Amino acid sequence: MTKRATYADIEALPEHLTGELIDGDLIVSPRPAVVHARAQSRLVMSLGGPFDLGSGGPGGWVILHEQELHLGEDVLVPDLSGWRRERMPELPRGVGIRVAPDWLCEVLSPSTERVDRSRKLAVYARERVGHVWLVNPVTETLEILRFVGDGWRLVATHAGTDKVRAEPFDAIELDLATLWQT
Between 2 and 162, residue with greater pLDDT: 162
Q: What is the pLDDT of residue 64?
A: 96
Q: What radius of gyration do the chain's Cα atoms show?
A: 16
Mean pLDDT of the region 148-167: 96
Mean pLDDT of the region 70-82: 97
Distance CA 6, CA 118 (A): 21
Between 135 and 2, residue with greater pLDDT: 135
Tell which CATH architecture fits domain 32-180: Alpha-Beta Complex (3.90)
Mean pLDDT of the region 136-156: 96
Q: Could you give the C-alpha distances from 74 to 27, 156, 161, 182, in angstroms and in order?
A: 11, 28, 36, 34
Mean pLDDT of the region 24-45: 93
Q: What is the pLDDT of residue 3?
A: 86
Q: Which residues contact 21 (CB under 8 A, 6 or more apart)?
A: 5, 6, 7, 9, 10, 27, 73, 74, 75, 76
Q: Does the pLDDT value for residue 2 go beyond 80? A: no
pLDDT in tens, 120-140: 999 999 999 999 999 999 999
The candidate with the shortest Cα–Cα distance to 101, out of 81, 119, 116, is 81
Ranking 2-6, 11-15, 64-68, 81-85 by mean pLDDT, the lowest is 2-6
Mean pLDDT of the region 2-9: 92
- φ/ψ of 164, rounded to 5, equals -130, 160
